[in-house]
Amino acid sequence: MKLTRLARLAGQSIRKNKMRTLLTMLGVIIGVAAVIVMVAVGQGAQSQIRNRIDKLGTNLIMITPGSSASGGVSQGAQTFNRLTVKDVEAVRAGATLLTGISPVILAPTQAITANGNWRTLVYGVSTDYQTIRDWDVAEGAYFTDTDVRTSRKVALIGKTVADGLFPGSDPVGQTLQLRHVPFEIIGVLAEKGQTAEGNDQDDIVIAPYTTVQNRLQGRQFIGQIIASASTRSDIPLAEAEISSAMRASHRLGAADNNDFTVRDQTDLAKTAQETTRVMTWLLAAIASISLLVGGIGIMNIMLVSVTERTREIGIRMAVGARGSDVLRQFLVESTVMSVAGGLIGVVVGWLSAIVLRLITHWETVVSPQTVIIALVFSASVGIFFGYYPARKAAALNPIEALRYE
């Protein structure tokens, strides 16, 4: 019997018992919708993590102080600081795969204006900092290389600082006092939001590193150096170039350990995304249990259908239908119900993901791969759980089936 004929017979059988068919499909609908929503939430979480890591900087590479040891006991990371501005110049001269490099001099301080005061963190950086962090300026302009060379007292502030010290007014052109040193505000940074750890990136003041070092910090050593590679694939080679330039700058011999640390965000990104990927598929596996329950429901209903249609099966066999024809008919019926339930479940799951995003403000991503996997799985459920009832129907004895009341 042709497949089109089987599909038509399956449709007729399904339409005869609309309510029972709907209840049979309900388990598949719920299962597919649950899988779609759970995977959408998981993939949305992965997307958010990628975005937050990207906000930290473009192909970011960080150079931090190394560790020290006392009496053979390590004092931990960043306890031995030999980083200086000369190291920045050495790396800039020796590295060929960097798009920018900047010292980072941190100076926690109280920012004071006529409107009040605000405890914040001042970053002393170079002009490359904007490129490395991929940080736009919402108002005003960034400082220049001339400002850095002349240690000009200018600053840019983050949105959090702007809202705290200049509510309802334009900060650009106004004066900000940092440790009794007046700074002219030349710009307001575009909003960055929180990091993956929950730190507010907008609670910040940025100024030329020469100004911060000479006017606010007064120390020779700097806390950190950041750089950006040309492309993500260049990061390993760029790190090797940085390490070579830093070792030469610090005059380290072949047997000497590094007194600095070079790292990037690749491992952090991989770990975070791998964690969310495992959680996504765990949630999807839990939601798939609903599909199995729906498959059992299909099997039970098809068994009932075989019993109710025993006489019909006997008549069909008596007029020449083979057992394989009956087997295919019942398999097609269970598959059609399962696929139809899967299609409805995809629509319900997609709409549910949208509603969830609107209500909770979680990012949800429904990918085509998820939809295809859910539909294939639902069809497989129909075939798997429909096989036993179909086999039972095909194995009926025609004479006994015709006598069935």
What tens digit of pLDDT does each residue of 387-397 get? Answer: 777 777 777 66
Alpha-helical runs (H) found in 116-155: 128-133, 145-149
The predicted structure's pLDDT at residue 172 = 93
Mean pLDDT within 235-251: 91
Tell which wins on pLDDT, 203 or 383. Answer: 203
What tens digit of pLDDT does each residue of 128-140 get? Answer: 999 888 889 999 9
Cα distance between residue 165 and residue 204, in whole Å:
12
- Per-residue tokens: 280: 């996504």
Q: How confident is the model at residue 353 (pLDDT cuts 50, 70, 90)?
A: confident
Burial 91-123 (b: 16+ CB within 10 A, else e): bbeebebbbbbbbbbebebebbbeeeebebbbb
Q: How confident is the model at residue 327 (pLDDT cuts 50, 70, 90)?
A: confident
The predicted structure's pLDDT at residue 133 = 87
The predicted structure's pLDDT at residue 72 = 42
The predicted structure's pLDDT at residue 78 = 45
- Which amino acid, one-letter code, is at 68? S
* Cα pseudo-dihedral 248, 253, 259, 261, rounded to 10: 60
pLDDT at position 177 over 90: yes
Residue linked to tokens 């490359």? 128
Please state, rounded to an integer, the average pLDDT across all residues of the chain. Answer: 80
The predicted structure's pLDDT at residue 139 = 93
- Per-residue tokens: 323: 């057992």
What tens digit of pLDDT does each residue of 92-126 get? Answer: 998 888 999 999 999 999 999 988 899 999 999 99
pLDDT at position 201 over 50: yes
Question: Burial, 254: exposed, middle or buried (Cβ in 10 Å; 0-12, 13-18, 19+)?
Answer: exposed
Cα distance between residue 271 and residue 19, in whole Å:
48
Tell which wins on pLDDT, 160 or 45. Answer: 160
Tell which wins on pLDDT, 357 or 306. Answer: 357
Q: In this structure, is the dihedral angle defined by the CA atoms of residues 135, 141, 147 and 153, taken in order, positive or negative? A: negative
The predicted structure's pLDDT at residue 75 = 44
**Beta partners for residue 204, in sequence order:** 121
- Per-residue tokens: 202: 């907008």
Mean pLDDT within 35-57: 73
pTM higher than 0.85 for the full model? no
Tell which wins on pLDDT, 57 or 65. Answer: 65
The predicted structure's pLDDT at residue 71 = 42
- Per-residue tokens: 166: 């200049």
- H/E segment holding residue 336: helix 323-360
| Candidate from 105-109, 157-161, 197-201, 209-213 with smallest mean pLDDT | 197-201
Mean pLDDT within 38-51: 75
Q: Alpha-carbon Rg of the chain, whole angstroms? A: 34
pLDDT at position 200 over 90: no
Q: How confident is the model at residue 45 (pLDDT cuts 50, 70, 90)?
A: confident
Cα distance between residue 304 and residue 57, in whole Å:
62
Cα→Cα distances 250→116, 222, 225, 268, Å: 44, 14, 15, 28
The predicted structure's pLDDT at residue 67 = 58
Instruction: Name residues whose C-beta falls within 8 Å of residue 196's C-beta, 6 or more positions apart in sequence.
Output: 49, 52, 53, 272
- Which amino acid, one-letter code, is at 128? D
- H/E segment holding residue 187: strand 181-189
Cα distance between residue 355 and residue 364, in whole Å:
10
Whether the Cβ atoms of residue 83 and residue 225 lie closer than 8 Å to each other: yes
Cα distance between residue 34 and residue 28, in whole Å:
10
Cα distance between residue 122 and residue 314, in whole Å:
87
- Which amino acid, one-letter code, is at 322? R
Tell me the three state secondary structure of residue 190. Answer: coil
Fill in the DSSP letter of residue 216.
Answer: I
